[in-house]
Amino acid sequence: MRIQVAINEGVLAVQVGDKSISLDPKRDSNSDFTFVSHAHTDHLSLRKKKRNVSRKILASQATAVIANFRGHDLETPIDIPEEYNLVDTGHILGSRGFLIPDELFYTGDISMRDRAFLKGVKPPRAKNLIVESTFARPEYVFPSLEKCVHETNELISKMYSRGIPLILMGYPLGKAQLLTEFFRHWDPLIVHESVHEMNSVYRQLGIPLKEGMTFSQAKENGMIQRGVPWIMISPFMSRSAEFIKTMKSSCNAVTVGFTGWATRARFRQVMGLDYAIPVSDHCDCNELLEIVRYCNPEKVYTIHGFADYLATRLRTLGYEAEPLMSQNKRKGNGSHQIRKIPHSKNQSLIDSYFS
């Protein structure tokens, strides 16, 4: 089967026989099908759909529900044509890779690790592999999840014994729900309003997350005061955010950030976090190579983050590999690169770095 992979006017698309499929396009294209791997904003079109234009969406139902909840006008996914498969990629709830058996696998964002209600991917074999490369550089090796959760539990325990609350920060879609699940046994469990909303979407989709209480409920209950320990699941906020400044001055709260970028030695300090734990929803550099080995492709295309680096590394290992310039990179606002860690007060900018 002849497969052509190309980026046309910023849209990644594959041509398979007489059909074209655009992959996570940031804008509408004329392809026959539009595949949406998951509901993070860097994989979704920000535009409203054009009237009377059917994009024939290939995606999981969960992705459509979450995307629409986040304000994207994503049409109902069509029934998957029998020549295509969607593969659970274990990145967030509903995340899928696009597979034409034996021929093509596009990973979207991908994780090999089982994490609470998420199952790590079992990569399929395919002659052509398009693989994400967010954490492809050799400095990104993540410790085991068990170790990270254990260390965090010990930290919470230590802080509780001193009456100190903790703000556990992660990306509000995906990471925050895992944090809610990992640390559900701690009381009181407070969830930031934005996390509370997304947690209820997950519950609607069948993931029985603990409800906890919102920050305003906790405040009404008189829990936000010095000497009263709690944990709060929150989006990433910079040290200069008013909320963090208030929590530090009023109740001595400590902040803990959860992201793969925490592998970088200076990340914690630059972000102004008290603690940083390298829990990621992506593969680390070794796992990316493992994906490629499992898939056993004749040709690899790398996309997002360190795409050039991964392609070069794969060529030294004997693979035919080529980087694809990411759509985000062209626009210069990619969430899969961390050229400069933001000090910004702009929450959406901060969020965009940690998806």
Among 12, 16, 35, 42, binds Zn ion (CB under 5 A): 42
How many CA atoms within 13 Å lie on the side-chain side of 84?
A: 21
Closer to Zn ion at the Cβ: 63 or 212? 63
Check if the beta carbon of residue 70 is closer than 8 Å to that of residue 128: no
Should residue 351 be labelled a site residue for Zn ion when binding is judged by CB under 5 A? no
CB of 279 to Zn ion, least distance (A): 14
CA-to-CA dists, residue 64 to 38, 61, 73, 79, 216, angstroms = 8, 5, 9, 13, 30
DSSP H helical segments within 70-192, as ranges? Answer: 145-161, 175-182
Residue 57 to residue 305: CA distance in whole angstroms? 26
Single-letter code of the amino acid located at 161: S
Closer to Zn ion at the Cβ: 280 or 355? 355
Closer to Zn ion at the Cβ: 156 or 284? 284
Single-letter code of the amino acid located at 351: D
Count residues contacting Zn ion (CB under 5 A)? 4
Closer to Zn ion at the Cβ: 194 or 214? 194
Should residue 287 be labelled a site residue for Zn ion when binding is judged by CB under 5 A? no
Considering only residues 71 to 110 of the shown chain, the ones binding Zn ion according to CB under 5 A are 109
CB of 170 to Zn ion, least distance (A): 13
Residue 23 to residue 43: CA distance in whole angstroms? 9
CB of 281 to Zn ion, least distance (A): 7
CB of 91 to Zn ion, least distance (A): 5
Task: Return the range that interacts with Zn ion (CB under 5 A); candidates 34-42, 53-61, 197-205, 311-319.
Answer: 34-42
Helix (H) or strand (E) holding 279: none
Closer to Zn ion at the Cβ: 16 or 324? 324
Does 342 sit behind a cis peptide bond, omega within 30 degrees of 0 on the bond before it? no
**Which of 139, 94, 138, 137 lies closest to 119 in space, CA to CA?**
94
Check if the beta carbon of residue 339 is closer than 8 Å to that of residue 234: no
Considering only residues 168 to 227 of the shown chain, the ones binding Zn ion according to CB under 5 A are none
Should residue 40 be labelled a site residue for Zn ion when binding is judged by CB under 5 A? yes
Q: What tokens does 296 get?
A: 């056993």
Task: Return the range that interacts with Zn ion (CB under 5 A); candidates 32-40, 49-57, 59-67, 225-233.
Answer: 32-40
Closer to Zn ion at the Cβ: 110 or 253? 110
**Which of 109, 101, 88 lies closest to 16 in space, CA to CA?**
101
Closer to Zn ion at the Cβ: 40 or 192? 40
Residues at the site binding Zn ion, with contacts judged by CB under 5 A: 40, 42, 109, 355
